[in-house]
Structures are given as C-alpha cells and as structure tokens.
Amino acid sequence: MKAVVTGAAGFIGAYLARRLADEGHEVVAVDNYLRGQPARIAGHPGITAATCDVRDTEALTAAIAGAQVVFHLAAINGTENFYQRPELVLDVGVRGALAVVDACRAAGVYDLVVASSAEVYQTPAIVPTDESIAMVIPDPLNPRYSYGGSKLVSELIAFNYGQDHFRKVQVFRPHNVYGPDMGWKHVIPQLIAKSIAAAENGTGTLEIQGDGSETRAFCYVEDVVDGILKMYAHGAHRNVYHIGSMEEVAILTLAQEVIAALGLDLEIVPGPGMEGATPRRCPDIAKMRALGYDPRVDLKAGLQRTASWYREHQLAPEDNKLL
C-alpha cells in the first residue's frame, strides 16, 4: 500500500510514518517543517519525503498521486501555540483540511483519515466522554479555542466538503498523547524540564498550573498509532473514534509520577491556572475496544521512557519556536 502522512515530521505523524514503513508500506511523508523535525523521519527505510505546505493544493496533489490513503495529521499543536499563535493554528488547520480534500479529489485518492482532537469538547458534559457528546467552542474570543475550533471545522470538511468522493473517510480524536520527542509545549515535557531545573538550581520545588485537581487520561504514542491503524483496517466509513486511554489521573498525581520517573525528590506547589483550561477529561474508548483496541503502555512505564528521552535532550531547538 502507498500511504501519505501529512505532518509526518511532527510527533504522532513521525511515529505513524515509521510504523507504516516498518510494516512494509510505501510512505510519502508530507511536511514543510514549520513545526516538524526532519530528523524524525530522515533516512528511515520506506519513507520518501515530500517537502510541501499542506495548504498548497497543487503541490499536495502531486505529492499524493498514486496513494491509496492519506492520513492527515498536519497541524500546529502545543497549548502555548494556541494562545500565542492562533492565526497560524487556524490557517494551517482550516486551509490545510480544505487543501487535503481538494488534493484527494484531484489525485484520485479515495481513503482519508483525519486527526481531530479532544479539544473539540473543551469541558464535556459527561466524563468519560464518548463520541456522541456535543462539540463546543465556549468563547470565540479566547485564543485557546483556535485549535479546537480548527479541528471541529476539519471534521465538517472531511465528512461533508468531499462526501461524494471518498470510499472511506474516518476521523479520530486522540486524547492527551505523550511520549519521547513530543516537543516542549505540552504538560509532560514541561513538567520534566521544570523538575530537572528545580533539582539543578536547588530550589527543591516544582510549581504546577493550578492546584493539581484537573484530570486527564494520557495515552502513550505507540498505543495511539496502534489505534489509528486498527481503526483504518476495521473501522467504518464516515465514523468518528476516540483513541486514548481511560487511565484518568489528576495533574498533581501526574507531577508526582514525573518526579518519580526522574528519580528526584521535589515539593509540588500550586501556581496560577490557564484561562479556559478544562477541569476534567477522559475518553470513553468502548467504540475502539469493539475493534480490538486496548492501550498496553501504562502511565508509569510511558513516563519512564519519556523522562529518559528528555533527560538526554533537555534543550528545545532554538531555531523552531513552535516546537
């Protein structure tokens, strides 16, 4: 199979591209390296890089020619970016989705898998949350919702803008994916970096956002890739699936586990929270479990692997402020 991965030099995209290639598929890795890192896919057998902007329909059409499926993961992720670069987040999210569908039409690609996000729910009415719960943008003036809004629109585009073209179109909503080399603008790498700094400068304290009572259900990246491939192989046309874990933890507990994974002894202190932050989030993954999916890496094991990687790669690339 010839598969295209947009955002293939991004975090999840790189893991997915490498897995597809390792399973013997021909992979075209689309990225313009605005946020992606070339080293994540460089030299990997079975991967051909196609350097183009996902918003460029003409270049994208040429890149995906002859493919059986496009996995569209290109986006500007990272919570800090939602607040600081909302225009770029929306531009890549919305115009990129339109360009992908138009390119699939032009190139005769009939299968499309689109990455959405748990951010489409913000503060869901029911937790654990299944795929039927309403998507919400509570405040269009808050730039945090630039990402969730772009993902909501991407789902509409995938299912309705090109609905007569596709043989199979699916959307997955990943929930709090983490793992080695995920960037530096997410809660887990930030906790790791702050813990290491606190140990090195002798303060002995780790400040967290808020009082630590917020909850999330973190899912290791390799489990998420398993879910994406299982959904594509066994899932239904025009369907949405949650991919994640139901191991819900408080942020305070997460911070304690990060400190333990690093082998440190720090005091955790509360700090100011982020405006628009969600108090509780955990997916209901029954729909994916019916396809045979079940995450295998528990939080403790995943944090050990992640903390080890960040100990060896403590400095964020200075040439990429989005990472």
pLDDT value of position 318: 59
Angle at 203 between CA 198 and CA 207, to 5 degrees: 60
Q: DSSP character for 53?
A: -
pLDDT value of position 314: 76
CA distance 38 to 312: 19
Compute CA distances 291 → 72, 165, 183, 287, whole Å. Answer: 21, 25, 30, 7
| H-only helix segments in the chain | 11-22, 57-64, 79-84, 86-90, 96-107, 145-156, 187-201, 221-234, 251-262, 286-289, 299-312
pLDDT value of position 316: 64
How many Cβ atoms sit within 10 Å of the Cβ of residue 252? Answer: 17
Q: Give this prediction's pTM.
A: 0.95
Residues of the chain short of pLDDT 70, as ranges, are: 315-319, 321, 323
CA distance 292 to 2: 24
Long-range contact list for 19-25, CB < 8 A, 24+ apart? 19/225, 19/229, 20/46, 20/229, 21/45, 21/46, 21/47, 22/46, 25/1
HSE-up (13 A, CA, CB side) for residue 232: 20
CA distance 119 to 23: 31
pLDDT value of position 275: 75
pLDDT value of position 319: 64
Q: DSSP character for 138?
A: -
| Residue that has been written with the tokens 């995906």 in this structure | 64
CA distance 61 to 105: 9
Work out the burial of residue 259: count CB atoms within 10 Å of its CB; fewer than 13 is exposed, 13-18 middle, 19 or more buried: buried
Q: DSSP character for 280?
A: B
pLDDT value of position 43: 94
Task: Tell me the CA end-to-end span of the chain in Å, nearest whole number.
Answer: 31
Work out the burial of residue 167: count CB atoms within 10 Å of its CB; fewer than 13 is exposed, 13-18 middle, 19 or more buried: exposed
Q: Which fold, 2-175+218-243?
A: Rossmann fold (3.40.50)
CA distance 282 to 295: 14
